Amino acid sequence: MSERADAHIHLFEGGYQESLMKRFGRPVDEAVVYASLAKDHGVRAALIVGYADVPWAAENTGYLTQMEKQYDWVHPAAYFDAAEPPTTDELTRLQAHGFVGVSFYIFGPERVAALLAISDEVWAWLASRRWLVSVNSKGDDWYAWQEVLRRHPELRLVVSHLGLPPKQAEAPGADGARSAMASVLALAGFPKTQVKLSGFYALTDPGHDYPHRAAWPYVEALLDAYGVERLLWASDYSPCLDCLTFPQTYDLFSKMPFLNDADRERIEGANLLALLDEVKG
């Protein structure tokens, strides 16, 4: 297997406070832990998805600036509330600090309305620099991106966690999977849109049901719509560690009979490395 590249991890000063890391009862250096995992599992690069929507994570962008200087595998995306979007001056400053993208969490009508109010100047800046726009959202909220992408089809939207389709205890049929993912599949016609194959623990019931066969029809639907070249492995470190070991976040692809070795090589690393090369280039 060639080098891996992880399309969705989080790094917080003191550790993520909503799952495993808070169980230690003391601050945890997530970057040190991830660096060790990356060395053991051949991970050359990771897209760090910023998040600052809660008080304990409010300074996440500043922390990621420090981490980018410290680790060559760190490629950060800065979090922005859609209601307080970045200016192009802010984006230029972040670019100078090694950032390669932005992160939005779009859930509910207020955030959708705020997203649609972001100026074309911002989208044009992001598209022209080939920055990655990592988005967490679900359901019908994904339809809002069609309006943005019609105006800026070169925008590199990166859908997190398969778009968070409904959690399944048993695998749905092909038609059921496509229906559940209709809003994400509708974005496949925009050529620069990518999807992260991540967060499987949030898509199956129970979450520790490795290798998450109940979610495989979702992957097949995405494979048909997007092609293997626009699918990205992502571990969702460190939240994933509540349910899985780190290698299980990518090893499940070896269990999927509809993926071959060449497909896995692209998904697990080559696709994201190509995107990062475009940004850096």
Residue 20, Cβ density class (10 Å: 0-12 exposed, 13-18 middle, ≥19 buried): middle
Q: Is the pLDDT of residue 208 over 60?
A: yes
pLDDT tens readout for residues 142-163: 999 999 999 999 999 999 999 9
As beta bridge partners, residue 6 has 46
In this structure, the number of other CB atoms found within 10 A of the CB of residue 67 comes to: 18
Q: What percent of the chain has pLDDT over 90?
A: 94
> For the CA atoms of the chain, what is the radius of gyration?
18
* Tally of domains in the chain: 1
81-86 long-range contacts (CB < 8 A, ≥24 apart) are: 81/53, 81/114, 82/106, 82/111, 82/114, 82/115, 82/117, 82/118, 83/110, 83/111, 83/114, 85/114, 85/118, 85/119, 85/122, 86/122
pLDDT at position 1 is: 53
- pLDDT tens digits for range 4-62: 999 999 999 998 988 777 777 778 899 999 999 999 999 999 999 999 999 999 999 99
CATH code of residue 235: 3.20.20.140
The average pLDDT across 119-140 equals 98
Q: Could you report the per-residue pLDDT of 167-201, keeping only the tens digit for each?
A: 999 999 999 999 999 999 999 999 999 999 999 99
Q: Looking at residue 152, what is its pLDDT? A: 98
Query: What's the whole-number mean pLDDT along residues 68-97?
Result: 98
Its domain, for residue 233, covers 4-280
Residue-level pLDDT at 17: 84
Ranges assigned E (strand) in the chain: 4-9, 43-49, 74-79, 101-106, 132-137, 156-159, 194-197, 231-233
In 50-204, the DSSP E strands lie at 74-79, 101-106, 132-137, 156-159, 194-197
